[in-house]
Structure 1
Amino acid sequence: MNQQHQEDLAHIRSMMERSSRFISLSGLSGVFAGLSALIGGLYVYELFKSNGMDYLNDDHRLYSTNLVSELFWIAIIILICAFTFGTFFTIRKSRKYNLPIWTSATKKMLFNLSVPLLAGGIFCLALVYHGYFGLVAPSTLIFYGLAVINAEKYTFSDVKYLGFSELILGCISLFYIGYGLLFWIFGFGILHILYGLVMFKKYK
C-alpha cells in the first residue's frame, strides 16, 4: 500500500511539473547555440585580423562604420541560428515524448526571458550609438544571465547555473575592456556547449 501511495505521489508530482514548467527544452539546443556562437566569434576574430587589427595586442582599436555594421549583422545571424536550432530541437523533443509546447508555462518563461533581453538589447544599442563598444560584450553576457535566471522558475531549475555563470563572467569582463570577444566566445560558445551536453545527458 505504501508503495502504491509513493507511485501515486510521484505521478502527481510529474503532472504538476509538466503543467507548471516548460520541460520540452532540449540540451541539444544549448549545444548548437553554443556552436553557432563559437563559429561566429571565431569569424569575428578573423574579421578583425583582415582589417589589420591584432585583437589580443592592440589596445587602441578603431571601429569603422562598415565594421560596426558588419558586426551587427553577424550578431543577428548568430541569434537567428541559435533560435532556429532551439526551436527545431524543442519541437523534436516534444514530439518524441508527446509533450505540449505552447502552454501557460511556455508563455510565462518566454515573457520572463524576453523582458531582460529586450532591455539589454536597447542598452547595447545605446552603447553602440554612443561609441562605447568595449562595454557591449560584457553587457550582453550580464543581461543574458539575468534573463536566464529570471526564466528559470518556469523551466528546468538547472538553467540557473548557466545564468549565474553568464552573469559572473559578464561582471568579470567589465574589468577587462578590450577582451570582450574572448569572454563572449567563452560565455555564449563554450558554456552553452557544456551546459547543453550536461542537460542532454541528464534529461534525454
Structure 2
Amino acid sequence: MNQKHQEDLAHIRSMMERSSRFISLSGLSGVFAGLSALIGGIYVYELFKLNGIEYFTDEHVILSGSLVSELVWTGVIILVCAFVFGTFFTVRKSRKYNLPIWTSATKNMLLHLAIPLAAGGIFCLALIYHGYFGLVAPSTLIFYGLAVINAEKYTFTDIKYLGFSELILGCISLFYIGYGLIFWIIGFGILHIIYGLVAFKKYK
C-alpha cells in the first residue's frame, strides 16, 4: 500500500511538473544555436580581415557604416537561425513524447525571457547609434544571461547555469573591450553547445 501511495505521489508530482514547466525544450536547440553562433563568429572575423582589420593586432579600430550594418544583419541572421532550430527541435521533441507545446508554462517562459531580451536589444541599438561598439558584445551576453535566469523557473532548472555563465562572461568582457568577438563566440557558441549536449543527454 505504501508503495502504491508513493507511486501515486510521484505521478502527481510529475503531472504538476509538466503543467508548471515548459519541458519540451530540446538540448539539440542549444547545440545548433551554438553552432550558428560559431559560424557567425568565424564569418565576422573573416569580414574584419576583408575590411583590412587585423582583429588581434589592431588596438584602435574605426568601423565604417557599411561594416556596422553588415555586422548587425549578421547578428539578426544568427538570431533567426537559432530561433528556427529551437522551434524545430522543440516541436519534434513534443511530438515524440506527446507533450503539449503552447501551455501557460510556455507563455510564462517566453514572457520572462522576452522582457530582458527586448530591453537588451534596445540598449544595444542605442550603443550602436552612439558609436559605443565595443560595449555591444558584453551587453548582449549580460542581457541574455539575465533573460535565461529570469525564465529558468518555467523550464529546466539546469538552464540557470547557462544564464549565470553568460552573465559572468559578459561582466568579464566589459574589462576587455576590443575582444568582444572572442567572448561572444565563447558565450553564444561554446557554452550553448556544452549546455545543449548536457541537456540532451540528461533529458532525452
- Partner of residue 142, structure 1: 142
The root-mean-square deviation of aligned C-alpha atoms, in Å, is 0.4
Quick one: distance in 1 between partners of 2:110 and 2:100? 15
Quick one: distance in 2 between partners of 1:89 and 1:75? 21
Deviation, structure 1 residue 2: 1.3
Report the identity percentage.
Answer: 84
- Counterpart secondary structure, 1:90: helix
Deviation, structure 1 residue 159: 0.3
* CA displacement, residues 74-130 of structure 1 (integer Å, 9 cap, x when unaligned): 001000000000000000000000000000000000000000000000000000000
Structure-2-length-normalised TM-score: 1.00
- Partner of residue 151, structure 2: 151
- Counterpart secondary structure, 1:62: coil
Quick one: distance in 1 between partners of 2:28 and 2:16? 25
Show the 5 A alignment for 1:1-204: 1-204=1-204
Quick one: distance in 1 between partners of 2:113 and 2:56? 33
- Gaps of at least 5 residues in structure 2 are none
Give the aligned residue type for 1:64. Answer: S
Give the aligned residue type for 2:168. Answer: I
Quick one: distance in 2 between partners of 1:86 and 1:17? 21
Structure 1 residue ranges, 4+ long, deviating more than 6 angstroms after superposition: none
- Counterpart secondary structure, 1:3: helix
Deviation, structure 1 residue 57: 1.1
Quick one: distance in 1 between partners of 2:61 and 2:35? 27
Give the aligned length: 204
Quick one: distance in 2 between partners of 1:151 and 1:56? 36
Structure-1-length-normalised TM-score: 1.00
Give the aligned residue type for 1:100. Answer: P
Deviation, structure 1 residue 65: 0.4
Deviation, structure 1 residue 3: 1.0
- Counterpart secondary structure, 1:140: helix
Quick one: distance in 2 between partners of 1:103 and 1:9? 23
Quick one: distance in 1 between partners of 2:59 and 2:23? 45
- Gaps of at least 5 residues in structure 1 are none
Give the aligned residue type for 1:27. Answer: G
Quick one: distance in 1 between partners of 2:3 and 2:93? 31
Deviation, structure 1 residue 155: 0.3
- Counterpart secondary structure, 1:76: helix
Give the aligned residue type for 1:119. Answer: A
